[in-house]
Structure 1
Amino acid sequence: MRYAQGGGLTDVERAARERIRLQAVERFERREKNREIAAALRVSERSVERWRRAWRERGETGLLSLGSPGRPKLSELQLARLERELERGPLAHGWEDQRWTLARVKTLIGRLFHISYTVEGTWRLLKRHGWSWQQPARRAIERDDTAVELWKKEVWPRVRAPRRHSTPGSSSRTRPGSR
């Protein structure tokens, strides 16, 4: 079912819809026609047909609300466990490096709690609980800054190609008399 502005029903609205379906059950038991039920409850006949089919197959429980179809939620206990597992690092969970990506966190949540999040949902969950996006420093752990500086001062000037000096009229952008 689609709703204006892309939103769903609140808990109150969901409960109101459930009450209407349960009123329809009373009318089903009295053998009223779909058209009469739809008119009395101010809903479409198609909805009444769907409700009647669900009522025949599963009884009154077939018309009860299934709750919010929104994102699966982790409990506070699960969130605390997730945080502990994230602090252990990706290596502890079988990845080859120490970078947590959203895809890896999503996979970890699935493994630990058997709950499926999208990558975007994983980001929203982490952001909501104080985690931030960080770009890893692209620097090798073994890097020796003094050796790098020494190389730049002594080796680089010998290996780089000498710069060509420009002379008047040597630029490729301007040519005398090319107008």
Structure 2
Amino acid sequence: MRYAQGGGLTDAGRAARERIRLQAVERFERGEKNREIAAALRVSERSAERWRRAWRERGETGVLSKGSPADRSLSEARLARLERELERGPLVHGWADQRWTLARVKTLIGRLFRVSYTVEGTWRLLKRQGWSWQQPARRAIERDEDVVELWKKEIWPRVRAPRRRAAPGSSLLTRPGSR
């Protein structure tokens, strides 16, 4: 059954469904009728009929799930093009800075291929393609390490809120490792 808004079975649910299909194959091989198989496996007769037809035509592999339909939304050629476009950077595609966000990649996929992904689906697609979440490792060119160290040592201690002192009846006095 297909669900609107990307719903459906979880990975565990799909695995359980796959086991049911394989049990149906065993019963097909024993010559059981579709009605008996459907009742025993608690599926519709129509599903049993469809699985039997696929089993006759392509064997056991015909009965196995083809996976999520979203996995096939972009062909290998389109995925390669998406990679090239991502490498060109967000500036080329009209964004004001050099950060790719999931929302931007989702929008880019829609513009390039007229395919709609959710933000979560976009993340899954990128992970499958080997992309990972990243944070810039570079420091600002203008950063002055000496000034930063001075600020940490002299200014931050004056600005930071003072620690609460333990007083009689305070929970701070009853903690393990406290005074």
TM-score (norm 1): 0.48
Question: Comparing both structures, which one devotes a greater share of its residues to helix?
Answer: 2
Structure 1 or 2, whichever has the larger Rg, is 1
Length-normalised TM-score, structure 2 = 0.48
